[in-house]
Amino acid sequence: MNINDVLALVKNERDAVEKELIANLDSDVKMVNEVASYVFESGGKRLRPVFLILSALMSGYSGPRSAALSGVVEYIHTATLLHDDVIDGALYRRGKESANRVFGNDITVLCGDFLYSRAFMNLVKDGDSRIQMLLAVAARTMSEGEVFQLIKTADVKISFDDYIRIIISKTAVMFSACCEIGAILGGQPAEKQTAMKNFGTTLGIAFQMADDILDYLGDPEKTGKKPGTDLNEGKITLPVIKLMEAATPQENKRIRDIIVDEKATDENLNYILGLMNRYDVKKRSEAVVDEYISEAKKNLEMFEPSQYRDALDFLADYMVAREK
């Protein structure tokens, strides 16, 4: 099985999601539709919808609600991206100029709000109070997680548990909701719903960790980004945590100084990248990702073998192995 096989398996549903994303941009205020279209037409991998749809198919559901709910998930996800880009003053998103840069911070914040409320309108229309609550809680948790991350900026005493808490909130909660929704749509019993919830959580953690590794240790030619953006923003992520575990007290003192003073000069960054290389931080970090991925995949064993189960199993590896 390769990625094209997986995508072929959900082709109809993915097409339906794209239609859903555009169909609801029905604002009387044309600018709102323009901003939202700008964001959706720049693509994005629609990973969350693919997990929701495959979880639903594996659970025995193949109706229209998985595309409708995927649209809701993608609206909420996009609203958080728009607000995050305003907060971070981001210049690019998905290889295009960011919406805040093209349309301004004010309109971008408001279009995020539009997408939130449009998402909830569609959730009300879908009518399942359990799913409504799942996604409202996910949205709440994501905003809390971003606040927690801001508070922990440049906090060198951040624990591994704090880091996990941040990435569960900002990323894993939504993957978890998607996979659980799939099991709910398929009418699976409680223990299988929980298995899919756990699948999504551990998978989401691994996904964010892989992203955080790439930020320092990815190939700039493939990521299209200068390494160490997170260091620049004072975000302490897995590679730094793993580095500090391995480095000498003296080295740690300098690492802490660099982070606390937020002096992400080229010299400082090169020092940290040099240490990461010396201590093989990439390997150490990837070992943690691998643990989470194999933990995630265990949850699939509760389900009967099927091409959908195989696809989820494949995707779990693919989403962290893939070079961006």
Residue 243: which residues within 8 A CB-CB, separation 6 or more?
Answer: 255, 272, 275, 276, 279, 281
CA pair distance 188, 167, nearest whole angstrom: 27
Segment 204 to 243, residues that bind a second copy, using CB under 8 A? none
Q: How many residues bind a second copy (CB under 8 A)?
A: 44
SS3 state at 92: strand
* CA 96 to mean position of chain CA atoms: 19
Residue 37 CB, shortest distance to a second copy, in Å, is 14
Q: Does 111 help bind a second copy (rule: CB under 8 A)?
A: yes
- Per CB under 8 A, 148 contacts a second copy: yes
Any contact of residue 110 with a second copy (CB under 8 A)? yes
37 binds a second copy (CB under 8 A): no
Binding segment toward a second copy, per CB under 8 A, in 6-14, 134-142, 188-196, 209-217 = 134-142
The CB-based long-range contact list for 255-262 (8 Å cut-off, 24+ gap) reads 255/156, 256/156, 258/231, 259/154, 259/156, 259/231, 259/234, 260/154, 260/156, 262/154, 262/232, 262/234
Distance between CA atoms of residues 118 and 39, nearest Å: 15
Q: Is 29 in the site for a second copy (CB under 8 A)?
A: yes
Question: Of 46, 65, 118, 284, which one interacts with a second copy (CB under 8 A)?
Answer: 118
Q: Which two tokens stand for residue 16?
A: 């339906």
Question: Is residue 31 part of the contact set for a second copy (CB under 8 A)?
Answer: yes
Closest CA to 237 of 277, 278, 293, 289: 289
Interaction of residue 127 with a second copy, rule CB under 8 A: yes
91: contact with a second copy by CB under 8 A: no
Work out whether 125 is an interface residue with a second copy (CB under 8 A): yes
116 counts as binding a second copy under rule CB under 8 A = yes
From 137-145, 176-184, 238-246, 315-323, give the range in contact with a second copy by CB under 8 A: 137-145
Q: How far is the CB of 144 from a second copy (least distance, A)?
A: 5
Answer whether 56's CB lies under 8 Å from 3's CB: no
Nearer to a second copy, 153 or 248 (CB): 153
By CB under 8 A, residue 28 contacts a second copy: yes
From candidates 86, 240, 315, 319, binder to a second copy by CB under 8 A: 86
Give CA–CA dist 92/96, Å, rounded: 5
Tell me the backbone φ, ψ of residue 28, rounded to 5 degrees.
-70, -20
Residue 140 near a second copy by CB under 8 A: yes
Q: Which of 16, 32, 174, 183 binds a second copy (CB under 8 A)?
A: 32
- 83, 93, 197, 297: residue in contact with a second copy (rule CB under 8 A): 83
Question: What is the CA 216 to chain-centroid distance, rounded?
Answer: 17
Cα separations (Å) of 114 from 249, 305, 306?
Answer: 49, 41, 39
Q: What 3-state class would DSSP assign to 75?
A: helix
Residue 136 contacts a second copy per CB under 8 A? yes
Summarize as ranges the residues that interact with a second copy (CB under 8 A). Answer: 27-29, 31-32, 79-80, 83, 86-87, 105-107, 109-114, 116-118, 120-121, 123-125, 127, 129, 132-133, 136-137, 139-140, 142-148, 150-151
